[in-house]
Chain A
Amino acid sequence: MSDITLNAAAKVAEAAPRSAPITQIGFVGWLRANLFSGWLSTAVTLLLAYLIVRWAIGFVDWAFVNAVWSVPNNQTQACRDLRGTGACWAVVTEKHRFILFGTYPYDQHWRPALCIALFVGLYIVSAMRRFWRKELALIWVAVLAVIGVLMWGGVLGMPYVPQERWGGLVITLILATFGLALAFPLAILVALGRRSQLPAIKAICVLYVELIRGVPLISLLFMASVMFPLFLPEGMNIDKLLRAQLAIILFAGAYLAEVVRGGLQSLSKGQYEAADALGLSYWQKTGFIILPQALRLVIPPLVNTFIGFFKDTSLVLIIGIFDLLTAGKTAIIEPAWQGFGIEVYLTVGAIYFIFCFAMSKYSQGLEAELNRHRRH
């Protein structure tokens, strides 16, 4: 017995080290582990692969092979002849300026286009951690002022464009960005107020947050559009875009306040007590000790909330403000282009998706980065 064991051991020692079987490592191993690990998994993989291939072929046929890319002079007969077998991208080719810029004067389209570029630049700069300083607030004020000048014009040789003619993507960006920029300070005040020890202030903040969060944004927008004019003294009027912007700020303020409050609550009590022990006043304590830590904690949920508002600005469609989605919906009202909603909504959706996807990936990356020190 022991003989045999000895011999076997000697044999193994002589053999050259072998690599793992081909079925366990590399590509094949990966396939076996992740796609074909059992009969159920294999069946699911095959079924899904079949469905994906079938769907992809159908989609490529519809979107590219059979598609019509342009038609002369709004003659959409070529599109109608497809009877749904191919996409009519001609509607996008024809109306893309309208979808992006609304009824802004055609020869001035470079102005909203430049504004869109400025907005995107502003987002990118704000996303970089090296710019997270007090000066960032100044950059925001400056860029938003430049955007206002560009859109209205009336100076530097740019003709004046009334607000009623603005439209498209730039309105969506204005509503979202100004909404956030003004809702954020409001949210901080409300969040602090909700944790305040002064009963009257606490009650006001709780009432505000719970009231706003209990009703849909649409009801606030309706309020801004039909009720707000009744609130103002006779002769005083605020234009519709500004009223909708106010509704969005009030709405966003309540939701952001809850996010900020989450950050305030997650700070340990010792931070508050240490600040008190140093003899700091309430505002010194809040500004130097509490807020810098609390806000840093809630940046990822803040970005997620911002994605939500970016999407929610599309609700202004219901009160007739000309944002990106409204422009898309209006583009297909014309009889010649009726019935090509799917193509337009896919295009508009792609624009929303680019913005939201970028923000969502950024938020995920940031969360991982900010949580790195907790992984021990």
Chain B
Amino acid sequence: MSSHPISLEGDNQAGDLSPKVARFGLGLAVVGLGVGAALGFLSNDHDGYSHFWFAYLIAFCFVLTIVLGTLFFNIIQHLVNAHWSVSVRRLSELTMANIPLLAIFALPLLVPLFSDDVELWKWAAMSAEHQGVAEMAHDVAQDAAAAPHDLATELEHVEHQHFVSHKFPFLNRNFFALRVLAYFLLWWGMARFFFRKSVAQDTAEGIAPTLSMKRVSAVAVILFAFTISFFAFDMLMSLDETWFSTIFGVYIFAGSYLSAVCWLVVMAKFLHSTGRLTKVVSDEHFHDLGKWMFAFTFFWGYIAFSQFMLIWYANIPEETHFFAARLTSSWSGWTWCLLIFHFIIPFGGLLSRHVKRNTNVLMYWAIYMLIMHWVDMYWLAMPNYQRGEVGAGNPFGAMEVLLAVGMLGVLIFGIGRKSAAQALLPLRDPLLGKCLKFKNL
């Protein structure tokens, strides 16, 4: 590789920052997850602590989607041979490298999956007890003879069971666990490959690692599209076992990439404040990250509305109940909040070029959008808790916040640990020179 006539001024190594960040993240994780779990298990809600499991799933998906977004960020930069992003690419690599760590935090979800008491994925228990309609009808008839007043409820149960039963070949406990395992293996494989090759490039004599990353990125982007879509269907869409929306995977992807770009802004700004990467990540790079934030704020709104409008217009009962539940109950406040604060306000706020070039203001919007991303996850999942029950409210409190913060602590801990061994930017990337000279017109 030819040497660039550019000196990488400033501090580009994490150095003694790594253990500090790791300790901070560990503290957040222990306090957040610990107290959150304690609050969850102290609350006696007689339904297998379902409320806690919903809150845990929301926190988990909140952080995992950020990490998946950074994986996609990496893949797409290699795929399109982007040079503007080289200076922040290592930050996204450090984030995506935590997929195995998050896989560990997916393990507790086996409890709600395999327990008959927890009502998280309601199809889990239904698929296990599933029997033929004839047997069910027989049981109902016997039960009805014993206790006639329960007949209507029993019939409703049979009807619902019958309605969902054709999904059981896909939605059952073992296959679900197997699929999630497959997603994590694929993500881990991709993240590991891109991380190792990128670090290898730091000391390589040629550009062979970069070239192999470019080749693999084409396959990786397809794998990523499939895995994140099915992950979204499995983890979040199936919380309502009767509902379906084919655009749901794209919706999750939109929020995932948006929050990932926001996360990169926060990381870069934090490193600036400690005097690192100050000459490497310039206003130009923040400007481009800001463009992504703006574009994906709009893309998220576009996809969210596309999903809403088709369902609203077709007005088919098996689809509309998702929005009916979120627009005609106490959830309507959250829905309007999402429209206004996740789309309209940041759209106006991020529109101007001056906002994207003012790193302090951009940092504010990045944190704001990360919070809104959590609200989005909460809005998707929580209305399914105590679904349809009279008096079911919008459970939101310290437990939700603590679990989300704790899960973010896990990510920060992981990044801190990973950041010690190599530089904070891809030192000998062939496009780094172009990146550092890059200017927006």
The answer to whether A and B assemble together is no
- Residue numbers of B with Cβ under 8 A of A are none
B-contacting residues of A (Cβ < 8 Å)?
A: none
